[in-house]
Structure 1
Amino acid sequence: MTKAELEVLERKDLLGQARLSCQAVADHDVKVRPLATVSSTGAEGPGRKPEPEITPEPEWVEKPA
């Protein structure tokens, strides 16, 4: 888990319930269930296209149990 992901999940009280797709790189097929969509959040759009690598540069930390 990246430090950036841990901080966001703790701030939003989602630690242990969700992961951030923007902080994960998949090298094979994965199944995901989006928790926050454009229509469910009232956002103006989906945001930027994902980067090919994790940004910002990942600082790896142990995932809390």
Structure 2
Amino acid sequence: MKQHPNAHLFNSLRGAGPALAPRLLCAFGAQKDRWEDADSLAAFSGLAPVTRKSGKQLQVQRRYA
């Protein structure tokens, strides 16, 4: 973590201590362009609800991993 070029970004986040900052770095990854926005990261990690549409039916579910 100390040698990573973006470590200062994650260490400066409020509440991100020595245990949470490396986890956040792993979650976001080193590629900044990997996630288009916060919603795409939430969908990948399973935090965002999954919406299914078919005709007149609309179904919203949570993902369980």
| Smaller-chain TM-score bracket | under 0.3
TM-score (norm 1): 0.26
Q: Which has the larger radius of gyration?
A: 2
- 1 or 2, which has the higher strand percentage? 2
Give the structure, 1 or 2, with the largest relative contact order (CA under 8 Å, sep 6 or more).
Answer: 1
